[in-house]
């Protein structure tokens, strides 16, 4: 439970900021909720004191919040005006409570920071529509949820939203259902680790991010974890990742990942932490589907031969703020047998099968630079995936192969393609609609038009030569 002591509440800040400009003695909550008098020297000090109160009463946030406002060289009257300005924002919505609104604001700000940071922004932020697609497909309804490259915690936030939607559909209490998931994460960058912790606190989500920010490879914060759902967007094609990592590391069951590229290190780390009936999804660069550099091809073949790969999704370009590298999503599972999953779906036996989805033509350009998925795009892909997994109708969709979009392939077919997992190899080209014009008639029309264009080209060429000759340049 996230708790705000009196001195950390916005009304207290707004009421006392004018007094704090010149310094004042204020009565605040002390340890064990005992009232104490504290000398506040400035508005910045008042804010720092509020943040200290939050950390004191919420031990998981200790050391997370930035308490340096009193050291900033900011005009105290202006800081007071800023507090009053923020206080005018109405955190009220007909369909949302204040916690939800604050969460939306935080998510929006993270997105804007990512845009402003450009390439660096991708270190802590994955576009919400991609996260939503993965969550809708993997369905983390209850159990242990893990992200070994968590950034600001976007997969956990979308998991909470998914649980709320699904609980409402099933007429279950969403608060009770949210208590049935456990959140585990790890992040190397200290600032990003702080962003994730604040993201969870704002939404009232409990979490375990380990003792400290640390490298997933050399200082695994959850060595004994076996998660039901693992989702990640690790850095693409990460180089020189394995300093201090043993070649005989027990995580490298399917082959030693090359030092020049961490893609299959991330994948095998996740598989190592995956529960026997668990599912995982990770975003990787497209090269991971076909590369044979060093032993990447052998690792991919081993994953396929062990029947761990369940679905491959090729994504459109221009989805990310930080990279133009084409990306894909790998979905893996350790159990393709018929069973009922944690979301209540009755799965069919999918042993020896892999679903390929080519989603490169989905989405829309939200501006001149970035593409995004619509809610319908996300639902289309997710419903298709669940229809394939269950063999049943899902929201009006019954799975069947669609030329140019999806194909259910066997391991034998994949072996014939040298274990390359690029969806385009399997789904083929989109079928063109027959326009009803006989081939001979169509060719006659095309050749006549081509002949006319050749004649026009010759006329233009003669005219250009004539004009050049008039200028004294003969060709």
Please spell the DSSP secondary structure of 36-78, one letter per residue: EEEEE-SHHHHHHHHHHHHHHH-GGGTTTS---GGGS---HHH
Q: Which residues lie closer than 8 Å to 69 by C-beta, 6 or more apart?
A: 43, 44, 45, 47, 48, 79
Task: Name the region of 470 (left: φ>0; alpha: ψ -120 to 50; beta: rest).
Answer: alpha
pLDDT tens by residue, 331-370: 999 999 999 999 999 999 999 999 999 999 999 998 888 8
Q: Which among 337, 339, 317 is positioned nearest to 328, based on CA atoms? A: 317
Q: Is residue 239 part of a domain?
A: yes
Backbone angles phi, psi at 293, to 5 degrees: -60, 135
Whether residue 166 sits in one domain with residue 79: no
Whether residue 468 sits in one domain with residue 328: no
Q: How confident is the model at residue 298 (pLDDT cuts 50, 70, 90)?
A: very high
Q: Is residue 197 part of a domain?
A: yes
Domain containing 264 — which CATH number? Answer: 3.40.50.150
Residue at a domain's end among 26, 59, 87: 87
CA–CA distance from 180 to each of 123, 161, 210 (Å)?
29, 14, 20
Lowest mean pLDDT among 102-106, 336-340, 443-447: 102-106
Q: Which helix (H) or strand (E) holds 227?
A: strand 227-232
pLDDT, residue 121, reads 47
Q: How confident is the model at residue 224 (pLDDT cuts 50, 70, 90)?
A: very high
pLDDT, residue 280, reads 98
Whether residue 128 sits in one domain with residue 24: no
pLDDT, residue 98, reads 56
Q: Which helix (H) or strand (E) holds 146?
A: strand 143-147
Whether residue 137 sits in one domain with residue 76: no
Across the range 448-468, mean pLDDT stands at 90
Q: Which two tokens stand for residue 257?
A: 């990942």
Q: How confident is the model at residue 107 (pLDDT cuts 50, 70, 90)?
A: confident
pLDDT, residue 272, reads 98
Residue at a domain's end among 36, 63, 87: 87
Q: How confident is the model at residue 416 (pLDDT cuts 50, 70, 90)?
A: very high
Whether residue 83 sits in one domain with residue 102: no
Task: Give the whole-angstrom CA distance, residue 343 versus residue 217.
Answer: 31
* Statement: residue 412 has pLDDT above 90: yes
pLDDT tens by residue, 129-143: 999 999 999 999 999
Q: Is residue 1 part of a domain?
A: no
Highest mean pLDDT among 5-14, 232-241, 398-407: 398-407
The residue count for the chain = 475
Whether residue 383 sits in one domain with residue 272: yes
* Statement: residue 439 has pLDDT above 90: no
User: Model's pTM, two decimal places?
Assistant: 0.83
Q: Is residue 250 part of a domain?
A: yes
What's the distance, CA 334 to chain centroid? Answer: 22
pLDDT tens by residue, 147-164: 999 998 999 999 999 999
pLDDT, residue 257, reads 95
Collapse the DSSP code of 317 into the 3-class scheme (helix H, G, I; strand E, B; otherwise coil) and give the result.
Answer: coil
Q: Which residues lie closer than 8 Å to 162 by C-beta, 6 or more apart?
A: 135, 136, 139, 140, 141
Q: How confident is the model at residue 413 (pLDDT cuts 50, 70, 90)?
A: very high
**Structural domain harbouring 449:** 438-475
Whether residue 39 sits in one domain with residue 134: no
Q: Report the mean per-residue pLDDT for the chain.
A: 90
Give start and end residues of each alpha helix (H) in 170-288. Answer: 174-178, 190-202, 263-272
pLDDT, residue 114, reads 61
Whether residue 107 sits in one domain with residue 228: yes
Q: Is residue 93 part of a domain?
A: no
Task: Give the whole-angstrom CA distance, residue 333 versus residue 309.
Answer: 7
pLDDT, residue 163, reads 94
pLDDT tens by residue, 228-252: 999 999 999 999 899 999 989 999 9
Q: Is residue 432 part of a domain?
A: no
Whether residue 118 sits in one domain with residue 44: no
Task: Give the whole-angstrom CA distance, residue 428 versus residue 405.
Answer: 8
Whether residue 158 sits in one domain with residue 44: no
Q: Is residue 433 part of a domain?
A: no
Q: Where do the DSSP E strands lie in 271-413?
A: 274-285, 309-314, 327-333, 339-340, 346-347, 353-358, 364-365, 371-372, 406-410
Whether residue 365 sits in one domain with residue 447: no
Whether residue 423 sits in one domain with residue 444: no
| Pair 56, 5: CB distance under 8 Å | yes
Per the structure, how many domains does the chain have?
3
Give start and end residues of each alpha helix (H) in 282-364. Answer: 296-305
* Statement: residue 93 has pLDDT above 70: no
């Amino acid at each position: 439970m996230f708790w705000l002591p009196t001195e950390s509440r916005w009304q207290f800040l707004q009421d006392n900021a004018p007094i704090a400009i010149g310094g004042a003695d204020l009565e605040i909550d002390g340890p064990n909720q005992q009232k104490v008098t504290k000398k506040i020297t400035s508005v910045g000090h008042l804010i720092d004191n509020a943040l200290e109160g939050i950390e004191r009463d919420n031990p998981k946030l200790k050391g997370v919040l930035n308490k340096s406002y009193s050291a900033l060289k900011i005009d105290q009257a202006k800081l007071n005006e800023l507090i009053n300005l923020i206080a005018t924002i109405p955190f009220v919505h007909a369909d949302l409570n204040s916690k939800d609104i604050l969460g939306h604001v935080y998510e929006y700000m993270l997105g804007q920071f990512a845009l402003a940071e450009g390439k660096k922004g991708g270190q802590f932020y994955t576009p919400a529509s991609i996260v939503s697609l993965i969550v809708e497909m993997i369905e983390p309804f209850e159990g242990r949820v893990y992200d070994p490259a968590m950034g600001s915690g976007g997969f956990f936030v979308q998991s909470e939203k998914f649980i709320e939607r699904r609980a409402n559909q099933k007429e279950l209490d969403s608060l009770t259902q949210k208590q049935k998931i456990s959140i585990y994460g790890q992040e190397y960058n200290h600032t990003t680790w702080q962003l994730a912790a604040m993201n969870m606190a704002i939404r009232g989500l409990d979490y375990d991010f380990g003792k400290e920010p640390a490298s997933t490879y050399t200082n695994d914060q959850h060595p004994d974890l076996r998660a039901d759902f693992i989702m990640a967007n690790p850095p693409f094609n990460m180089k020189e990742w394995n300093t201090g990592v043993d070649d005989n590391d027990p995580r490298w069951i399917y082959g030693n990942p090359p030092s020049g590229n961490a893609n299959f290190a991330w994948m095998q780390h996740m598989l190592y932490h995956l529960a026997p009936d668990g599912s995982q999804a990770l975003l990787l660069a497209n090269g991971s589907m076909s590369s044979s550099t060093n032993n990447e091809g052998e690792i991919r073949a081993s994953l396929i031969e062990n029947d761990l790969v369940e679905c491959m999704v090729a994504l459109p370009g221009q989805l990310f703020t930080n990279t133009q590298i084409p990306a894909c999503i790998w979905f893996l599972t350790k159990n393709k047998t018929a069973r009922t999953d944690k979301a209540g779906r009755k799965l069919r036996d999918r042993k020896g099968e892999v679903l390929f989805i080519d989603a490169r033509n989905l989405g829309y350009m939200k501006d001149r630079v970035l593409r995004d998925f619509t809610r319908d795009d996300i639902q289309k892909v997710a419903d298709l995936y669940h229809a394939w997994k269950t063999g049943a109708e899902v929201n009006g969709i019954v799975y069947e192969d669609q030329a140019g979009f999806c194909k259910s392939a066997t391991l034998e077919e994949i072996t014939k393609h040298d274990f390359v997992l690029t969806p385009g190899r399997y789904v083929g080209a989109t079928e063109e609609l027959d326009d009803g014009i006989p081939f001979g008639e169509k060719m006659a029309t095309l050749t006549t038009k081509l002949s006319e264009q050749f004649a026009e080209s010759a006329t233009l060429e003669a005219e250009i030569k004539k004009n050049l000759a008039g200028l004294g340049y003969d060709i």
